[in-house]
Amino acid sequence: MIRNGIDRILDYAHLFQGKRIGLITSPTGLNHKFESTIQILHENYNLVALFSPEHGVRGDLAAGAMVDTYMDPITGVPVHSLYRKDSKRLTSEMLDEVDMVVYDIQDVGARYYTFIYTMLYALEDCARAGKEIVVLDRINPLDGITVEGNVLKDGYQSFVGNYPLTVRYGLTAGEIARMANEQMNWNGELHIVTCEGWERGMLFTDTGRPWIMPSMGLPRFESALLYPGTCLFEGTNISEGRGTTAPFEMIGAPFIEAEKLADEMNDHRLPGVVFRPVYFKPTFSKFQGELCHGVQLHITDQRALRPLDTSVTLMYTIKSNYVKFSFLPPLKEGSRPFIDLLGGDHMYRNDQVDVPKLLEQFREESREFSLMKQEFHLY
């Protein structure tokens, strides 16, 4: 049986006994019996604070929602937000309440996903304050071997990319914490409660565990497997399927010709995927209430699929055929366009992008990162 860190927590009682504990978690913070990490720490140790990432510790907050401190209605423990308008970090006042911070959130294995930076910010903040931090490690659902994409470049840091990772990095949260703690010279007092039974080549579907949505935008494992590629469309005026029941699986806009696009994409014969013409009307987000035409990406081989290569090819196919395609402007004056933040570079907006050459550049950076990261493997 595959066990995540939370499933082994009672074996590490010596780490937690006598400590005032603050917990960073989300609805994915569950053991194999579907018992919440919040309840486990509350019943067995001295849980004195909860720290809320985006979406809230119990998943009751919408994407991007800001919230002030409140009391958790089930445990009575105060909840402090780590997703504030002015900051995403632990404050000195928050850290004064605890001796140790524990992190337990299911990562999805893609650089854009914000929870990993909540963890890294907490690690850095704890290191500065001299507080212990424990990562209850979890499997990487996209496997621990496959690496895709470019490394984020200096100057392009944001909350969708704040560390020099490839887009798909093949590491667990614990391994990333270990790597950052050493490479950034934070030297925090870091403890990792490792997984058991997981092998690096496993995709989520190999584990036999049920899929718990890490957020509402990733309702299925297929959504998560496509996400390292199709999330790029968030930086464009093309719908990435938000507001539908298949976000990150359907791509479209009112001005696209669905059958033509599907045929052209299938002609590329990309590994592990076929494209089906699709029509959808988002209930929120881009083109709310408008009929979009586009394609649904159907995975035919989970291991052969390369979501980033697939989506870059799709994005430039749309760009070359439709003059209405555009990259979205910066969210605020003086900031970078969102596609640059997602891309960790400005290369997607370069004139006359040579797609095969760009993807080969990505593969070279991936090869280098893949070799480097092996030093920090725990499995």
Query: Does 223 have pLDDT greater than 80?
Result: yes
Residues of the chain with pLDDT > 90, as a percent, come to 92
Cα separations in angstroms, 21 against 42, 199, 262: 9, 30, 52
Overall CATH class of domain 221-345: alpha beta
Residues 245, 284: contact at Cβ < 8 Å? no
Residue 55 is predicted with a pLDDT of: 79
Checking 332-341 for CB contacts under 8 A at 24+ apart, the result is: 336/156, 336/158, 337/235, 338/234, 338/235, 339/232, 339/235, 339/236, 340/156, 340/235, 341/156, 341/158, 341/160, 341/161, 341/235
Cα separations in angstroms, 86 against 68, 94, 301, 352: 12, 15, 43, 38
Which residue has 């080549």 as its token pair?
A: 201
Give the H/E segment covering residue 299.
strand 292-299
Q: Tell me the torsion sign for CA atoms 299, 305, 308, 311.
A: negative
Rounded (5°) CA angle 213-219-220: 100
3-class SS at 374?
helix
Write down the domain spans for the chain.
5-210, 221-345
3-class SS at 217?
coil
What does the pLDDT look like over 117-159, one tens digit per residue? 999 999 999 999 999 999 999 999 999 999 999 999 999 999 9
Residue 63 is predicted with a pLDDT of: 64
Query: Does 269 have pLDDT greater than 80?
Result: yes
Structural fold of domain 5-210:
Rossmann fold (3.40.50)
What DSSP designation does 7 have? G
Residues of the chain with pLDDT > 70, as a percent, come to 99
3-class SS at 221?
helix
Nearest to 22 by CA among 93, 117, 106, 112: 93
Cα separations in angstroms, 331 against 24, 340, 363: 28, 12, 30
Q: How buried is 34 (Cβ within 10 angstroms: 0-12 exposed, 13-18 middle, 19+ buried)?
A: exposed
Residues 347, 243: contact at Cβ < 8 Å? no
Residue 96 is predicted with a pLDDT of: 98
Average pLDDT over residues 45-67: 84
What does the pLDDT look like over 14-51, one tens digit per residue? 999 999 999 999 999 999 999 999 999 999 999 999 99
Residue 85 is predicted with a pLDDT of: 85
Residue 260 is predicted with a pLDDT of: 98
* Measured distance between the N- and C-terminal CA atoms of the chain, rounded to whole angstroms: 15
Residue 82 is predicted with a pLDDT of: 94
pTM value?
A: 0.96
Strands 273-280 and 292-299: antiparallel
Query: Does 335 have pLDDT greater than 90?
Result: yes
Question: Please, what is the average pLDDT of the chain?
Answer: 96
